[in-house]
């Protein structure tokens, strides 16, 4: 774990501010005071006291809450582009699982998560919910880059890169919980891969452990149609019904994907207060299907938005993901009003925070909340002129429009540059590891 | 018209090169010589003669043909974000047409096209096919920024911003052809809005004029289901059947959108050798429907890709548009192999050139072709590591990864900066005009 930079006071001055997308509009911004890790005063004309602070000039810029990536397998940046344009189960079983079983270890997870964390930071993502293996090393990377992260250790009943014998996940989980860095940025959690790769006993035990530890439990739920058929065949119930019968649905459970749901299953999610993370680009790319995101949202399900891993997306740009969520919803519902700009902005901020049980701490800019703030520079041809900032954020902007990123009061990106780690060093190390991974499948790493 | 910068010799050195996406792979690049407006030697180890040239160091970069935006209404950047999340016909009739009838004049078209041309240049688009009004002023903007453009004058049988009385389009066309700048970058053309806003006589006369002038004739075809119903009701034929009956389908005709086609209509397009421009993001955003792009492509239809106007997209990033085309095809066909990376790269380059009848001059990097070249910098976390460059170009890259843009031998973008015009001046002028446009609908231009 690298040394943490000391927090300091920061005052943002000028520009425009969007304190809570979808509830407040964009207004003229005067001054916002950040002390240590917290927002102290938001958009006031005069600070209540004199402070010794770094001044960040936000003139002509747009200040908003940092984006929340509700689902990612960050380390998979090292497998990005290794296999595309393939059916889901071939992609997973013939390419991803074999590459993972050969290469995924602590160094892979640390390096891959470093690359993704740098990408996410540059794109204005201040919190991500990660699920993979050797997760204490993912946590190290998030801490080093300076991002807030929910770090969920993967659980499978087939051999995993960090738990060779099926059923050995409990030992691995113990090890993870022992060695995961204790850092204010990190919330440990559990991630059961799915109802088809985790047995009913494993799901029940994992849920009991999550309750005991008061952590989140993530699970891929009904991502593909074959998965639903498989689970229905084995257990006589569709995945959400199966989870309900196991008494797992409820607060703290997060359903990822939720593409193929019956009406009854949708109601079960509503009744149990289960949050859903929608991953539109991954679902499209793998031809998994289309989550009824606008329908679930209308029923009152807390909906976040996720990129999924960089091997099935293949980028971690949540501005683009908001746009894709909205465009996909309009396409499949044939309703151009579906998932409008304000709704998807909420999914990527305050509603995403709600799914992670963190809406009292992040997701909007309010005094007392953590200072997770991004500054967007709209002085570019593709954002000029600007009538409705929320429209531009969803329908025209991209991660590269983010100028500054503050997480927990710390400046992680300053004028488009990562300040916390040496980007060049980690890209070089990632390329070296990728050369070896590529060799295994007859490909060359060619970014050098 | 501003003065044209003198052409000069340029030698690109190092990096990787993709000379024709989908046919050639990415290979190590040695040297490429550009003399005046043409590619002279492409990827040779030693130039045949000593040349006095500007050297562009492309080490670690990816060199490829410039992207071709097959359909845009560039001036509409001044209306971007004015109205979103609305049904197509309300969007068009209640917001776009009224705003256009009030504001669209020569200055609007010039300024709006300047903004879009700067955006397109920065995103690596070297050729665009534009359709709108007062088009000699769009041509001026393209020439000033230094982009190659097919400039198609709009034709409608309802009052247009530049032809107040229905039926007066012939006079306007004459005026346009007289005053359109004669510049090697500009190809004038005709753009009939649609079969529902142009009468059979107008369509026939425009087609005859296009044949006489040997120019392209563009037409929005079967974009929405109500359009198909309307045309079928009025003429007893679906739009493509209607165009076929009018004897308009054929070389030089370009069908834009082509979303709602019967099998018979698809065959008609194949038989007539008509090119199609697919605009996936606009079709999704307006909930118009999904063009069967992979099916048309498999049948052998020449398929280009277009952003459509910035008021219905809302950006002009063809990297993102390639990605959306592929993801949308995978979603609607439920086939993850649909429109793979190489196919959409062709749509954005050589196949797009074929649709515009320019594949002997642009769309790939070959000696004798125009020097329309882009240089992409993949040294960024979201493109690291890189196993398959074509995959990264389609599934991970974005316009902001383009470093240099050369059009017709001239450096238009150098290290991410427009070299040809004063970006700040034109953004300021666009904001001033937008303040007035916004006032008309109760919105404020807030980018200042």
DSSP secondary structure, B310-341, as one string: TTSS----HHHHHHHHHHHHHHHHT-TTTT-H
Pair A236, A270: CB distance under 8 Å: no
Average pLDDT over residues A294-320: 96
Instruction: Name chain A contacts of B446, Cβ cutoff 8 Å.
Output: 16, 26, 386-387, 389
- The contacts of residue B102 (CB under 8 Å, 6+ apart) are B437, B440
Which pairing describes strands B373-376 and B303-305: parallel, antiparallel, or unpaired?
A: unpaired
Q: Pinpoint the residues of chain A covered by CATH 2.30.40.10.
A: 10-66+364-416
pLDDT-based confidence at residue A1 (cuts at 50, 70, 90)? very low
Distance from CA of B20 to the nearest CA of A (A): 18
CATH architecture of A10-66+364-416: Roll (2.30)
B409 is written with which tokens? 């031998």
Best A87, A381, A383 residue to mutate vs chain B (most B CBs within 10 Å): A381
Q: What pLDDT, on a 0 to 100 scale, did the predictor assign at position A4? A: 41
Residue-wise pLDDT for B410-441, tens only, equals 999 999 999 999 999 999 999 999 999 998 88
Average pLDDT over residues A248-254: 95
Is the peptide bond between A355 and the residue preceding it cis, with omega within 30 degrees of 0? no
Tokens 């937008």, located at residue: B434
CATH architecture of A67-355: Alpha-Beta Barrel (3.20)
For residues A259 and A288, is the Cβ–Cβ distance under 8 A?
yes
State residue B164's pLDDT score. 86
Helix (H, G, I), strand (E, B) or coil at A367: coil
Residue B238 CA to residue A389 CA, distance in Å, equals 40
To which residue do tokens 């003065």 refer? B3
Gap between the terminal Cα atoms of chain B? 27
Secondary structure (DSSP) of A383-406 = G-S-S-HHHHHHHT--GGGEEEEE
Contacts A434 to B, Cβ<8 Å: 385, 387
User: CB pairs below 8 Å between A and B: how many?
Assistant: 242
pLDDT digits (tens, 9 = 90+) for A340-381: 999 999 999 999 999 999 999 999 999 999 999 999 999 999
Contact A332, A50 (CB under 8 A): no
- 3 state SS for A135-154: HHHHHHHHHHHCCEEEEEEE
Residue A180 per-residue DSSP state: S
Q: Compute CA A336 distance to the chain's CA centroid, rounded to the nearest angstrom.
A: 26
What is the widest separation between alpha-carbon atoms in chain B?
67
Pairing relationship of beta strands B10-13 and B31-35 according to DSSP bridges: antiparallel
- Backbone torsion region of residue A185, taken as left when φ is above 0, otherwise alpha when ψ lies between -120 and 50, otherwise beta: alpha
Q: Do B381 and A423 touch (CB under 8 A)?
A: yes
Q: State chain A's maximal CA–CA distance in angstroms.
A: 67
Tokens 């911004």: give the residue: A29
The 3 state secondary structure assigned to A324-339 is HHHHHHHHHHCCCCCC
Q: What pLDDT shows up at residue B80?
A: 97
The verdict on a CB contact (< 8 Å) between B286 and A330 is yes
Q: Is the pLDDT of residue A55 over 70?
A: yes
pLDDT-derived band at A3, boundaries 50, 70, 90: very low
Instruction: Show the tokens assigned to B402.
Output: 């383009």
Count how many residues are written for chain A.
448
Burial class (CB within 10 angstroms; exposed 0-12, middle 13-18, buried 19+) of B56: buried
Start-end of CATH 2.30.40.10 domains in chain B: 10-65+366-417
Q: What are phi and psi of A205, to 5 degrees?
A: -65, -40
Topology, domain B10-65+366-417: Urease, subunit C; domain 1 (2.30.40)
Q: Which residues of A touch B123 (CB under 8 A)?
A: 382
What does the alpha-carbon distance between residue B371 and residue B408 come to, in Å, rounded to a whole number? 5
Q: Is residue A422 a contact partner of residue A145, using CB atoms and an 8 Å limit?
A: no
Taking only residues 22 to 81 of chain A, the set having a beta carbon closer than 8 angstroms to any beta carbon of chain B reads: 26, 60, 77-78, 80-81
Residues B43, A74: Cα–Cα separation, whole Å: 37
Q: Where are the alpha helices (DSSP H) in B42-164?
A: 88-90, 97-103, 106-122, 135-145
CATH 3.20.20.140, chain B: domain bounds: 67-355
Cβ partners under 8 Å of residue A24, min gap 6: A18
User: Closest to A386 (Cβ–Cβ): which among B286, B289, B446?
Assistant: B446
At A7 the pLDDT is 52
Is the Cβ–Cβ distance between A402 and A65 less than 8 Å? no
Of A140, A155, A165, which is closest to residue A189 (Cα–Cα)?
Answer: A155
Pick from B286, B381, B387: which is nearest to A119 by CB?
B381
Name the band, by pLDDT with cuts 50, 70 and 90, for residue A218.
very high
- Other CB atoms within a 10 A radius of the CB of residue A340 amount to 20
Q: Which helix (H) or strand (E) holds B236?
A: none
Q: What is the pLDDT of residues A36-51, one digit of tens each?
A: 999 999 999 999 878 8
Q: Give the residues of chain B that fall short of pLDDT 70.
A: 1-7, 448
A165 Cβ under 8 Å from any chain B Cβ? no
The C-alpha atoms of residue B365 and residue A334 are separated, in whole angstroms, by 40
- Residue B342: CB atoms within 10 A of its CB come to 18
Position A200 pLDDT exceeds 90: yes
Report DSSP letters for A71-128, one per residue. EE-GGGGGGTTSS-S--HHHIIIIIIHHHHHHH-SHHHHHHHHHHHHHHHHHTTEEEE
Rounded Cα–Cα distance for residues B375 and B435 (Å)? 36
To probe the interface with A, which of B147, B385, B396 has the most A CB atoms within 10 Å?
B385
Closest CA to B365 of B11, B16, B21: B21
Contact A387 B333 (CB under 8 A): no
pLDDT for position A274 = 97
Which residue pairs from A208-216 have beta carbons closer than 8 angstroms and sit at least 24 positions apart in sequence? A209/A173, A210/A252, A210/A253, A211/A252, A213/A177, A213/A188, A214/A252, A215/A187, A215/A188, A215/A189, A215/A190, A215/A252, A216/A129, A216/A150, A216/A152, A216/A187, A216/A189, A216/A190, A216/A252, A216/A253, A216/A254, A216/A356, A216/A357
Long-range contacts of B432-438 (CB under 8 A, 24+ apart): B433/A385, B433/B78, B433/B103, B433/B107, B433/B108, B433/B111, B434/A385, B434/A387, B434/B78, B436/B103, B437/B78, B437/B79, B437/B82, B437/B99, B437/B102, B437/B103, B438/A385, B438/A387, B438/B82
Task: Say whether residue A422 is in contact with chain B using an 8 A CB cutoff.
Answer: no
Residues 294-323 of A with CB under 8 A from B: 310, 313-317, 320
For residue A425, list chain B residues with Cβ-Cβ distance below 8 A: none
Q: At A407, which helix (H) or strand (E)?
A: strand A402-407
The 10s digit of each residue's pLDDT in B75-121 is 999 999 998 998 888 888 888 888 999 999 999 999 999 999 999 99
Contact A81 B286 (CB under 8 A): no
Q: Would you call B378 and A447 a contact, using CB atoms and an 8 Å cutoff?
A: yes
Tokens of A35: 């002390």
Q: How many residues does chain B have?
A: 448
Cα distance between residue B315 and residue A414, in whole Å:
25
Radius of gyration of chain A (CA): 21
Q: Answer whether A285 sits within 8 Å of B87, measured CB to CB.
A: no
pLDDT of amino acid B148:
98
Helices A318-333 and B318-333: crossing angle in degrees, nearest 10, is 40
In this structure, what are the phi and psi dihedrals at residue A162, rounded to the nearest 5 degrees? -120, 10
Please name every residue paired with B68 in a beta bridge, in sequence order, or none if there are none. Answer: B127
**In angstroms, rounded to a whole number, what is the distance separating the alpha carbons of residues B393 and B344?**
10
Q: What is the C-alpha separation between B241 and B232, in angstroms, rounded?
A: 9
């Amino acid at each position: 774990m690298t040394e943490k930079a000391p927090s300091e006071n920061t005052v943002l001055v000028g520009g425009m501010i969007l304190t809570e997308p979808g509830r407040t509009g964009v207004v003229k911004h005067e001054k916002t005071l950040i002390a240590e890790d917290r927002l102290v005063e938001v958009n006031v004309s005069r600070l209540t006291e004199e402070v010794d602070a770094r001044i960040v000039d936000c003139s002509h810029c747009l200040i908003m809450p940092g984006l929340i990536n509700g689902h990612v397998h960050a380390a998979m940046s090292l497998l990005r582009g290794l296999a595309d344009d393939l059916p889901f189960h071939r992609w997973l079983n013939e390419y991803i699982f074999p590459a993972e079983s050969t290469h995924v270890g602590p160094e892979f997870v640390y390096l891959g998560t470093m690359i993704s964390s740098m990408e996410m930071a540059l794109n204005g993502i201040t919190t991500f919910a990660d699920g993979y293996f050797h997760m204490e090393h993912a946590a190290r990377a998030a801490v080093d880059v300076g991002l807030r992260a929910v770090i969920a250790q993967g659980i499978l009943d087939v051999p995993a890169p960090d738990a060779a014998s099926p059923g050995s996940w409990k030992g691995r989980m113990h090890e993870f919980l022992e060695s995961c860095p204790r850092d204010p940025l990190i919330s440990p959690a559990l991630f059961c891969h799915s109802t088809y790769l985790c047995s009913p006993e494993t799901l029940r035990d994992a849920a009991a452990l999550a309750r005991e530890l008061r952590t989140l439990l993530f699970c891929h739920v009904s991502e593909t149609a074959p998965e639903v058929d498989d689970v229905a065949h084995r257990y006589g119930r569709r995945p959400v019904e199966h989870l309900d019968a196991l008494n797992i649905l409820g607060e703290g459970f997060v359903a990822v994907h939720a593409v193929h749901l019956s009406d009854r299953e949708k109601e079960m999610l509503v009744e149990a207060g289960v949050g859903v993370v929608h991953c539109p680009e991954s679902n499209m790319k793998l031809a998994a299907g289309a989550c009824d995101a606008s329908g679930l949202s209308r029923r009152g399900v807390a909906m976040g938005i996720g990129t999924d891993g960089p091997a099935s997306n293949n980028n971690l740009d949540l501005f683009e993901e908001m746009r894709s969520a909205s465009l996909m919803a309009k396409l499949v519902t044939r309703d151009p009003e579906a998932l409008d700009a304000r709704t998807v902005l909420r999914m990527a901020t305050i509603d995403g925070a709600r799914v992670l049980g963190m809406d009292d701490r992040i997701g909007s800019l309010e005094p007392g909340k953590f200072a997770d703030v991004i500054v967007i520079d709209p002085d570019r041809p593709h954002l000029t002129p600007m009538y409705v900032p929320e429209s531009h954020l969803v329908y025209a902007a991209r991660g590269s429009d983010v100028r500054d990123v503050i997480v927990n009061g710390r400046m992680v990106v300053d004028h488009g540059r990562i300040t916390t780690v040496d980007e060049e060093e980690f890209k070089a190390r990632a390329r070296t590891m990728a050369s070896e991974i590529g060799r295994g499948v007859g490909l060359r790493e060619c970014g050098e």
